[in-house]
Amino acid sequence: MADAPDLTDPAELVRTVQWLRDKALIEALPQRYAHGLDTRQFDKARAVFRDDCTVKGSLVEAPIDPYWENLTPGVQAYQATMHFMGNQYCAVEPGADTGYVETYAVAYHMEEPGNGRDDLVMGVRYCDDVARDGDGWLIVKRTAIPVWVRGPLPREP
């Protein structure tokens, strides 16, 4: 929204509020994903992706269901994970049915103490194309770009 809207116009006020709501829902998608993974509520994390979504992750590129079958045991192999979600850039035009959100994150993958394995910590950018889905939004394409990695990737056997 480059120009300041005339919020004295009721129609413009409704349009602006809807745009702000859309933006907030889009920005929440990566946060809901991270919360679901870190609390081991995998269905909650999976729910942010449309069924025809494709994902290019750190190690695998696939449609969402085969990708998810690989991701879930990979996360469960660690004692704990913590995704710290940081800066976000969100692009969506008022009234649009598609948008984009890019989220910077630090993803901690913690090994069981004393197991002899190194923890994995990654700086990553989640680049998500999103689309309206009823009254909400879903990720339709994700590219996870590793910015830096400390520790073994892939996890050592």
Q: May I ask the CATH class of domain 10-150?
A: alpha beta
Rounded to the nearest 5 degrees, what angle is found at the Cα of 110, between the Cα atoms of 42 and 50? Answer: 25
CB 42 within 8 A of CB 72: yes
Q: What is the mean pLDDT of residues 20-46?
A: 98
Burial class (CB in 10 A: 0-12, 13-18, 19+), 128: buried
The band of 2, judged by pLDDT with boundaries at 50, 70 and 90, is low
What is the percent of the chain with per-residue pLDDT over 90, rounded to a whole number?
A: 86
Distance of CA 121 to the CA centre of its chain: 17
pLDDT digits (tens, 9 = 90+) for 70-98: 999 999 999 999 999 999 999 999 999 99
**Where exactly are the structural domains of the chain?**
10-150
